[in-house]
Structure 1
Amino acid sequence: MLAILGFCMIAIFLILVITKKLSVVAAFISVSVVFALIGGFAGDMGEMMMTGILKVTPTAVMIVFAILYFGLMIDVGLFDPMVKKILSVVKGDPLKIVVATAIITILVGLDGDGSSTFMVTISAMLPLYTRLGMNRLILASVVGLAAGVMNIIPWGGPLVRASASLQVDVSDLFIPLIPVMISGLIWALFVAYILGKRERKRLGIVKLEEPSLATLEIAATSHRLSFKYWFNLFLTIVLMTLLVMDVLPIAILFAVAFAIALFVNYPDSQKQQDQILSHANSFVMISTMVFAAGIFTGIFSGTGMMDAMASTLVSVIPESLGSHLPVLVAITSIPMSFVFSPDAYYFGILPILAETAAGFGIDPVEIGRAALLGHSTAGFPLSPLVPATFILIGLVGVDFGEHQKFLFKWAFGTTIVMTITAVLTGVISL
């Protein structure tokens, strides 16, 4: 009964969001309340919701200060020289801009943090897309594709979860996946080329007006010569370095960095207040979605629906498919991203799948590798259960349902390409 209730809960939520019957926030909260009541959990519903909210609070705090920080840096022109340099290379060509987006994402994605990858890359590239009138869904999709594949790296999160869950060495999972990961990155670049070519056909190679370029040149030169520009650049580099070193919680690092940047760039208290208010809409919307997601997952997990669904999914696997379990896990890994959070999947479902596979004579490490081909990697920019997804769509400014519909086929293609490569290289068995 709980499993059926859980599947219905996920299905109703996705239908409401994709068809735009309700906003994401309204869908998260209303669906949670309705299904908690249907399941007879009215008495415990409040506690479950608060538990879920408390779990996502650090993420919400991080989102608020990260948006404020990068919003300030955009406003004071930190990324203007970078934009000018890219403009000088791409020269108004949408194809080159989209491919450059993928390349920059791959480089920035080496820090292993999807959220910071989104924030840094989009902050740099969004002005170009806006300037040329390009489709922002393409920006969100290309960044999501490249960042998703980069999330396979050991310090990205999913691989560490898989390693701990299956109690296998990180190198046993990652090293065989390196060629698979490369194939995924090649696919991401290929998709960027296809989407960029479409934009070039739609917009043509845009000739940027000389006065605009001159203005940008003056602004860039001014920033290069100013103390504030160099200070902001230094502060941002230090912030990114500390993020990678994990010396303090991310939320604290962004809060401190924002406070310093705000004081240096806007010494007047009223201007500081105005700067914060200028980005209030962005961080209020995104943090609200994160808290609503916490309510949703609190009910989903606290009621036992998640555990019941995991048991049901394993029990329905036919004997004839047992030997093909690694491929089955790989292909279903993205759809599973819509149902299970990273922790729930890697610590709840993956051990059960690995144990089932062992009964068919399959090494559990293959199941771990297969899961990493989609869940919380290629599929994480699509999942409503991953807070970074809301950072992505919030920064780009696109609708969640539209983003999912646009990106899904390309993300699923990433998993298919990596699965084929994994089979051909013997990383997982067919």
Structure 2
Amino acid sequence: MLAIVGLITILLVLYLILSKRMTTMMALIVVPMIACVVVGEGAQLTSFITSGINSVAATGTMFIFAVLFFGLMSDTGTFERVVNKIISLIGTNPIKVCVGTFVITLLTHLDGSGATTFLITVPAMLPIYQKLKMKPQVLATIVAMGAGTMNLVPWGGPTIRAATALEVSLTDLYNPMIIPQICGLVAGLAITVWFGVREKQRLGIALEHVDITPAPLSEEEAALRRPKLFWFNLLLIIATIVCLVVAVLPPAGCFMAATVIALLVNYPNTKLQSKLIDSHAEAAMMMASTLFAAGVFTGIMSGSGMLTAMADGLVNILPSFIASRLALLLGIFSMPLSLLFDPDSFYYAVLPVLAQAGEAVGIPALAMARAAICGQITVGFPISPLTPSTFLLIGLSGVDLGDHQKHSFIPLWIVSLVIVFMAVIMGQIPV
């Protein structure tokens, strides 16, 4: 009962979002609340919701202040100056823009944090896409591919969870996956170039008419620019990112402090400070509300036991003839499974059961773990409604979740399958 209702809940949420019959926020709140009542856990609804909101509170707070901070930096003209310089170097070539986006994503995801990657890469590249009239969906997909593939690193959450859950060596788990991961990155780069070629063909002659000279500012915009503080603001951005990566403060604290400093130095007038905060509040609160809705969704699904029941049910319904190819099948479907399971539920509940089933037919636990990290909340995490950073990516990119999933699903699955294919060739995933 729990497993069936849980599966229906997730499929219904995805359908409502993809078909645009409900906003993402409404679907993430309404559907699981009804499901919770249906499975007889209505009395616990308050505690489930509270637990879920608490789990994303830090991310939501960080997002609000990140939007305020980057919005203020945009007001000062800092990004404008950097973007204009980049555009002057790469011209109006979408292929170079796409490849640059992919490379920057790989570098910024070295710390294994999706939130950090998105907060650094998207605000830096989005103005260039807008200037050249390139699709923001392309930006979101390229960043998703880069961050997702890099998420296999041994200090990434999924790999650590897999090693911990199955009690295997992190080195033994990851080292044989280095070459498959590199192949996945090459596949991602190839898809990125393809996106660039498509954008170049779509825009066609329009690119010749794109004026890459700085657009004239309105009187109000010019009044907010702080050219004399450019280097201070650039150093403030860099310092904020460094503090974020090395965890000097919690992520929310980094952006809170940065926002305060930005306001005090650039706009000391309190009335102007209030005006600027109000101007960015709508964007910040709209996405933050979706993040908290995602917290409600995961809180109810986890607390009610629906995710655990789905995990047990998945193992119980597997036909015996599939068992011998369990690792291969897990690898193939690992990326799509990111849409059904959050990282903790999968790696701590589903994977151990699958590993036991695999060992019964001679499949080592390490092989099952390697198959899982080929896509489950690695390559697949940036499109999963169960990971808060997904909403950070689409919020910063200005892309609807349904549109992002439609645009990114196939490219991400291709990258995941390339990783699986190479792992099979190298004998790391038995067939």
TM norm structure 1: 0.94
In structure 2, the residue matched to 1:97 is 97
Give the direction of change, closer, same or farther, for the CA distance of 1:265–1:362 in structure 2 (3 Å limit): same
Q: Superposition RMSD on alpha carbons, in Å?
A: 2.1
Letter in 1 for 2:391: F
In structure 1, the residue matched to 2:254 is 253
In structure 1, the residue matched to 2:416 is 415
Unaligned runs of 5+ in 2: 218-225
> Following the alignment from structure 1 to structure 2, what is the Cα–Cα distance between the partners of residues 46 and 173?
40
In structure 1, the residue matched to 2:118 is 118
Q: SS in structure 2 opposite 1:143?
A: helix
Post-superposition CA distance 1:287-335 (Å, at most 9, x none): 1111111111121111111111110101122222222222111112122
Letter in 2 for 1:28: L
Contact kept in structure 2, 1:91 and 1:207, CA below 8 Å: no
For residues 380-395 of structure 1, what are the structure 2 equivalents within 5 Å?
Answer: 380-395=381-396
Give the direction of change, closer, same or farther, for the CA distance of 1:278–1:154 in structure 2 (3 Å limit): farther
Q: By how many angstroms is 1:214 displaced?
A: 8.8
Q: By how many angstroms is 1:80 displaced?
A: 3.2
Letter in 1 for 2:325: H
Q: SS in structure 2 opposite 1:152?
A: coil
Q: Is the deviation greater in 182-191 or in 317-326?
A: 317-326
Aligned residue pair count = 424
In structure 2, the residue matched to 1:150 is 150
TM norm structure 2: 0.93
Post-superposition CA distance 1:329-381 (Å, at most 9, x none): 11121221111111111112111112221212222112111111111111111
> Following the alignment from structure 1 to structure 2, what is the Cα–Cα distance between the partners of residues 131 and 45?
46
Q: By how many angstroms is 1:210 displaced?
A: 6.2
Contact kept in structure 2, 1:70 and 1:119, CA below 8 Å: no
In structure 2, the residue matched to 1:267 is 268
In structure 1, the residue matched to 2:350 is 349
Give the direction of change, closer, same or farther, for the CA distance of 1:244–1:311 in structure 2 (3 Å limit): same
Q: SS in structure 1 opposite 2:427?
A: coil
- Is 1:18 the counterpart of 2:11? The answer is no
In structure 1, the residue matched to 2:305 is 304
Q: SS in structure 1 opposite 2:73?
A: helix
Q: By how many angstroms is 1:81 displaced?
A: 4.1
Q: Is the deviation greater in 232-241 or in 409-418?
A: 232-241
> Following the alignment from structure 1 to structure 2, what is the Cα–Cα distance between the partners of residues 362 and 152?
21
Q: SS in structure 2 opposite 1:153?
A: coil
% same residue: 42
> Following the alignment from structure 2 to structure 1, what is the Cα–Cα distance between the partners of residues 211 and 339?
47
In structure 2, the residue matched to 1:159 is 159
Give the direction of change, closer, same or farther, for the CA distance of 1:74–1:151 in structure 2 (3 Å limit): farther
Contact kept in structure 1, 2:9 and 2:35, CA below 8 Å: yes
In structure 1, the residue matched to 2:222 is none
Q: By how many angstroms is 1:422 displaced?
A: 0.9
- Is 1:402 the counterpart of 2:403? The answer is yes
> Following the alignment from structure 2 to structure 1, what is the Cα–Cα distance between the partners of residues 145 and 154?
18
Letter in 2 for 1:90: I
In structure 2, the residue matched to 1:283 is 284
Post-superposition CA distance 1:119-172 (Å, at most 9, x none): 211111111111111111111111111111111112332212222222222212
> Following the alignment from structure 2 to structure 1, what is the Cα–Cα distance between the partners of residues 168 and 392?
32
